Amino acid sequence: MKEKRKKLKPGESLVLWISRLVIWCVILLTVIPMLFVVTASFNSSNTYFSASLIPSHPSFVNYTKLFQDGQFLVWVKNSLIVGLSVAIGQVFFTATSAFAFSRLRFFGRKYGLMTLLILQMFPNFLAIAAIYGVLASTE
């Protein structure tokens, strides 16, 4: 059975195309820096920026240096250990605290929930200045 297409209202088509344009701009803004990183990895000189997007003399020198030392797999293993342990710990603590806030009645529950909501309203990016201040003062 053939499905009928839904007719768009007069303003919906414009909103649809504008949203598509915004989505494509966001995609480009995320892909272009990755393209620069890949281009810099194939550049044989130690420069991050070049005049062209495709290097004139691409080489695998940086990749051979990366795998020659034998430390790359150690770095991957350490990253996996840290990432998995943080993820498991975070799931455990958030699950137990979510259970406590949803099912149990205790003193400070209301203010605890309000504090969590206020903290979620601010992005982690705002904490960078504070983290830098702490790290700079430990010298």
Note the pLDDT tens digit of each residue in 71-93: 899 999 999 999 999 999 999 99
- Which residues make beta-bridge pairs with 58? 43
Identify the residue whose tokens are 């960078």.
Answer: 128
C-alpha separations of 69 from 1, 45, 63, 88 in Å? 62, 19, 11, 31
| Tokens coding 15 | 């909103």
pLDDT beyond 70 at 33: yes
Contacts (Cβ under 8 Å, ≥6 apart) of 101: 109, 112, 113, 116
Mean pLDDT of the chain: 87
User: Residue range 60-79: average pLDDT?
Assistant: 89
User: Residue range 61-65: average pLDDT?
Assistant: 86
The mean-pLDDT minimum among 3-17, 42-56, 111-125 falls in 42-56
Q: What is the predicted pLDDT for the residue at 75? A: 93
Q: What is the predicted pLDDT for the residue at 79? A: 97
What three-state secondary structure class fits 58?
Answer: strand
Q: What is the predicted pLDDT for the residue at 95? A: 95
The pTM of the full predicted model, rounded to 2 decimals, is 0.55
| Tokens coding 34 | 């990755």
Alpha helices in the chain (DSSP H): 12-42, 61-68, 72-103, 109-121, 128-137
Judge residue 19's burial from the number of C-beta atoms within 10 Å of its C-beta, 0-12 exposed, 13-18 middle, 19 or more buried.
exposed
| More confident call, 67 vs 87 | 87
